[in-house]
Every structure is written in C-alpha cells, then in structure tokens.
Structure 1
Amino acid sequence: MRVGIVGLGEVGAAMAAALRATGHDVLCLDARPESATAGKARALGIAMHADAAPFARAADVVLVTSQARWAAVLADWLVPEIPAGTVYADCTAKSVAVRDHIAARCLGHGVAFCDIAIADTVSWPDRKVELLVSGAATGAIASLFDGSRFMPRIVDASKPVSAELKLLRSVYTKGLTALIIEALAAAEKCGTRAEVQRTITAFMAEDFGRIATMLVGTSIKHAQRRAEEMKDVSEVVSALLGGAPMTHGTAMVFQALADSGICSDLATLEGIVSEIAESRVFERLGQSAPAEVAKPGR
C-alpha cells in the first residue's frame, strides 16, 4: 500500500519506519524543499512531494502527523485533491471542533476519515504503541499497521471520537507531568529530590487500579483534612519556587469535595467517580475565582 505522510517529526518518522518495515511504500509531503522534513525524508530515502495534488493522487492512505495547529489548514488544502475512497487519517492532538471540521471536509469529498489518538510514547523504539482509532476508515487503518509496533484499537467505527479520548486522557498524563515537575523542582530546591523521587517511584509501582481506588476513595472521606494539608504544602512550595499552581489547584479541589456532601463509603472507583461527575463540584470551581482553603484556628 502507498502511504502518504504529512509531517516527519517524531511520530511521522516512527510511523514511516514501521510501515516501510512491513512492506508499505511511503511518501512524504512538504511544500518547502529546504525544510527539516524534506531533509529527513531524503536521509530516510522516502519519496518527497512538494505539491498537494500529485501527492494526494499517489497515496492510498494519507496520514497527518503534523502539529495540531496545522490540522485544519492541511485538511482544507489536501482533502479536495484526494480521490474519493482514499483514507485520510489525522493523528494530531487536535481539538474536537477541528476534528469535526476535518471529518466534514472528508465527507463532503467522499474521502474516508479516520480519527487517531496516539496513546503511548513513540520515542522508545522497542515499545508497542496503541492507537485509538475511530470513524469510517478504522478497518483500513487496522489493516495498514498489522504486523508493526503500532497497535490500532477500534473504539468506535460508526463515528470519530478519538479526539475526545486523547484530550481527556491528557488531563491525567499532562497533569501528572506538571505535578512531577512541581514536586521534584521544589524538592530539588530544598535538597531532598532523590528521596522524594524514590518514595514516589515506589508508590507508583503499585497496580494503578488499586492506587486509584484507594486515592479517590480516601480523598472523599478525608477531603477537608487533605485540603488543609495541601494549603500547607502550597505555602512550602511557593516559598521554594515562587509559586505552586498545581498544589494550589489540588487544595481547591479537595476543599470543593469536602463541601460537596458526596458519600464517602462508595465501594468502587466507578461509583465514586460517577457520584463526583454528577455533582456540581467542578462547575462551582469553574465559576469561582481561586479561593483560600479555610483552616481551623487561622
């Protein structure tokens, strides 16, 4: 199969290598002949196109792996040139609105659309990479990556929903990154980074489901006490780093949970999360300015 890739960054280059290794022909599009992408394509021996029309006609599948900010522009440029029946798969971390724009573009030109969310890092070459795929062309994408380290998981063949999955998953993955940065930077400033990192590593080595159930369940029960604790933590981190946005936000969430009246003896993580989702905890947080956590005796 002839696969046209738009964007030869980390993701695009990894996909190109995987597809070539499983026998597919790969070509690349970049209108700038002296760009880094063009240079990388030449180094990898990948056929390079500078014009959208011949590129689109030459590909059976078009994979867009550029930065998300270019996703809509690329679709507007490329899709009208793509023959009907060709697969157009967008792998960018785009917004839902942009995804819907691209899907409508494809539908209007008879192009089969697939929404792809990359759910793992591609930077470790020995690691399998899960792709959350949805939309009309999921079957074609599943076949395309068969035998490679990229593992498509069809989440909905009837409609594109992968952008939502990607963005909601990022609440955790990117939020966790910010928490790690804030915690370890503060620990570094006071000379305790190695020990703090050791204890976090040991704790996170436990089964995730078990940890999540325990953390969320006990946080409902002890929300007020933890809000007060995180206020103290915020003061310490702010003194070390000049600010503590993640810690301060955590204190706000715990205080909102403490004020919500949510039942503290629900048996499962699903039950607890469902109760929180149905409450107005986050709606109230979103409507109010950041508030100080009330502490007894202060």
Structure 2
Amino acid sequence: MEKILIVDDSLLQATHLRNILGDEYDITIAQTPEEGLRQASSDSYSLILLDVVMPGMDGFTLLKKLQEEVITRSVPVILITSLSDVESEQKGLVLGAVDYIVKPFHELIIKARVNTHIKLYNYRRQVEYQSQTDQLTGVANRRQHDLCSATKWNEATRLQVPFSICMFDIDYFKRYNDTFGHPAGDKVITAIAKEISSYLKRTTDFFARYGGEEFVGFLMGDDSNKAFEHLKKIRQAVEDLHIPHDPEVAQWVTVSIGGITIVPQEDKSYDFYLKIADAMLYDAKKYGRNRVVWADENIKQMREKD
C-alpha cells in the first residue's frame, strides 16, 4: 500500500483527509512542520499533502526544506490551502509543489489528484531505476556508480570511517567469448554479477557493472584486513560456480580482484583511489589471475596466493 504523509496543524482537517484516502493508502499525520520534516526523512512516502497556513514554520518554508533534502526532494508535494490568490499558487509551484488545491475541496477531486500524482511518481521512479540499472545483469550500472560513489565517499569522509574500493575482472573473458560465443559470455557475466552481489548486500555496500566484463564495488566500515578476507571469499565463490572455461587457459571461469581500503581525507578524491584499486587489479592479473591483491590504509600491498 502506498504511503502518504499529511502535514497539517488542524487534526480535524487531517482526519478528514485520512477518512477520504485511508481505504486506498497508508496515511501518517504530522501536526507540526518539524514533525512533518522528521517523518518525511525517516520513512518512504509516495506523496506529501501539506497545509500552507501553519503557526511558526509555514508550508512554503517546509516545502523549501523538503526540496533541499536528498531523501525527500523527489517526493511529490501537494499544497492544500485556503489561500486562493494567484501569487500564493505561483509561489508554491515555483518552490516545487506538484499541485495546489484550494479549500474547500471536493472528495472526488482529492482522490483523483492524489491518484494521478502517485502514478506519475511511480512511473518516474521506474524510469530512474531503468536508467541506473545494467540491463543485462540487473545490478547497478556505471551511471549509478558515479552518483552513489560521490555520496558515499562524502559520507565516509564526514564520519571518518574506512572505505574500501574494489575492482573485479573476469579472467580470460575474450578467450571465453571466442570459444563459446557471445550469448554464453552474457550468461557468464550475469551469473558472476549475481554471485558477487549476493556478498555485497549490506546498506553500506555497493556493486555495479563498470563495463564489459569489469565490475566495481565498495564497502564502508571494514578495515583492510576484514575487506581483504571478504573479497577472498567472493573470489573463491566465483570459482566454486564451476563454469567450464576453455581448458587451454583455465579449468573454470574465475575473477581477479584489486582494491584498497582508506579512511577518506578531504584532500584526496574517490577517483584518485579508484585508480589505485585498478592498479591492484592489474597486479592481480600480472601475478597469475584468480586472486586478490589489496592495498591497506598505508598503501602496503597484500596478496593472495603469495
């Protein structure tokens, strides 16, 4: 059931709206702007119904705050008010409201507009999801990686927690494609993406297809030893899929992994350390493939299978 947040200092007004919409939607009521902001930031809503005239912080100010927050800026807001002048309506729409309903309102109008904006919101979310998802594997794509890495890097920098960047590459993949064909190669990419992503499922983890047979991921909060051990398990899990390779190069399809763990500093960028992770991947290939090569917080290299 879709969730709607009603922010209105009048309990009578809010209850009336809940009675109209409660059969079709999960309704939460906040009676102060401050409570509304907390509720909007702590839960996932498909629509916010916001009264304009409230004591203290008015609806226009709360709308501006909602638009400034990353978590709430994409949630559609309908302003409900007794202010019927054109200037107030224009102000609300300029600030980012999707609709403006003047009291007294009709029950059927409220239902129709709410239904329309929730449908539009869900359609927009689906389009955004598709634009940020790799169509072959279903994991995040490079565009989503670029967006998410910047956000998470800033968060790790602010909190001063360890941040691990890892690069994955399927070993001898061109040879696999040449031997078994591209459709078989696509199945291998999909199977490996599914296996790796099953090990990177925490809310602080991220995994994406970076391009071709290469993937990228990151973890927050783990020190270098813990990250190194976790990535060794992932490498072994891919090998344990026992996908037959061209016997002239390998028995099974495997991956090489390179990465680095650092506590981010403001004078270094995510891209700077991504290049180091890529250099570790290069070394993993150089040292024989199907292994993990890692750089710890002091850029000291740790190698699997030495």
Q: TM-score, normalised by structure 1?
A: 0.31
Larger radius of gyration: 2
Bigger relative contact order, structure 1 or 2 (CA pairs below 8 A, ≥6 apart): 2
Higher strand content, 1 or 2:
2
TM-score (norm: length of structure 2): 0.30
